[in-house]
Structure 1
């Protein structure tokens, strides 16, 4: 799974350099605030291809599907407990095409989510150790496979949101958790974004040599 990630090494220059290989970037330069402890429901940068150009926008991590439009995002006295309660920061690659929450976004709205690393925890409750997974080649940018959606809510207004795809882990990551985020190599970015192509090969577990792990001090 991926419940926390890290954007502390992201720079606009690096993102621009890598994405511009494939298409022009329509979004003006952004000031990216580094964060070494990104959590669900916060707003994070998402890259999409729209009309042949890249757009980069901050979206809520935790997908709110379009069919939630007209319903509140949070519980209020007036909403009588009708707030959005589903845990949607991850989507399982094995079931995403059939899931009521994710299937429409999977069919139509795919995206890339830039990051520096992600975290996993080991140990018993109260004595957990945090581990940071980054690229083994030292490159500062890794790219998660993501889905995005848009809902119009009465309390929070328009909500653009995203989720991260996960698959069964193997190799090094499997020593820390049985699932891992789908991390795309640059040659696979366009395949993932092309909704006419089968993305199944991108979901296959990999041996994990692409990553290195370091212990995070308390």
Structure 2
């Protein structure tokens, strides 16, 4: 799964990687992104790829209850996304890329879990495969755009830390994922040598504004490996 990640990204870097259109923005660095908060999402449009803020936690267009009653939809399983009523329409026609600087997973026993931070070995942003959509909030009548990260089985390198991981695209494949006819072809584990990891502060276990700064991703106990 992927329940916490980071987005400390620059518009210029994302524009080079995803050929973004639109006015450049100063993107706020985020080091402890939690479900139901706003995230930056890349989606296709008739004019090109655009970067759009969305709610992390997918709500389909037909959702008619308060958003607080949604089940946990911040992740969608690669194995079932094409069939699940919650996700299948968006998987067919509303795919997106969620750019990330890295993500967290935990090891150890309950109550004493150790957080690990995962990022690309080459230092570039990660491209998480996702789906997105929009619904009408029944409480505020506002249009809510939302997205989820697709997760699949872990590769051999990731398995000591967790049995699942985000679907991570090569940026060269991003447009094929966004607009291609065979999205299932991209739902595979990342290459074994694509990630690095190190242990970080347990402060990341808390999700509030006071615990969202760059020290969260500094090595705590173990060196990168």
TM-score range, shorter chain: 0.7 to 0.9
Structure 2: runs of 5+ lacking an equivalent: 203-225
CA–CA separation in structure 1 for the residues paired with 2:10 and 2:39: 13
Q: Secondary structure at the match of 1:201?
A: helix
CA contact (8 A) 1:171 1:209 kept: no
Match of 1:66 in 2: 61
Structure 1: runs of 5+ lacking an equivalent: 75-83
CA–CA separation in structure 1 for the residues paired with 2:65 and 2:22: 30
CA–CA separation in structure 2 for the residues paired with 1:175 and 1:52: 43
The alignment's TM-score, normalised by the length of structure 2, stands at: 0.85
CA contact (8 A) 1:47 1:55 kept: yes
User: Does 1:209 find its partner at 2:193?
Assistant: yes
Q: 2:166 aligns with which of 173, 176, 181?
A: 181
User: Does 1:7 find its partner at 2:20?
Assistant: no
Displacement after TM superposition at 1:199 (Å): 2.5
Displacement after TM superposition at 1:17 (Å): 1.6
CA–CA separation in structure 2 for the residues paired with 1:138 and 1:195: 27
Displacement after TM superposition at 1:26 (Å): 3.0
The alignment's TM-score, normalised by the length of structure 1, stands at: 0.88
| Deviation string, structure 1 residues 19-43 (Cα, Å, up to 9, x no partner) | 22xxxx3321112111111000000
Match of 2:26 in 1: 31
Displacement after TM superposition at 1:191 (Å): 1.6
Which runs of at least 4 in structure 1 moved beyond 6 Å after TM superposition?
none
CA contact (8 A) 1:171 1:207 kept: no
Match of 1:85 in 2: 70
Displacement after TM superposition at 1:6 (Å): 0.8
| Deviation string, structure 1 residues 114-147 (Cα, Å, up to 9, x no partner) | 11001100111211100011001222x1110010
CA–CA separation in structure 1 for the residues paired with 2:36 and 2:189: 27
Q: Secondary structure at the match of 1:172?
A: coil
Displacement after TM superposition at 1:48 (Å): 0.9
Cα RMSD, aligned residues only: 1.4
Displacement after TM superposition at 1:18 (Å): 1.4
Match of 2:223 in 1: none
Match of 1:166 in 2: 151
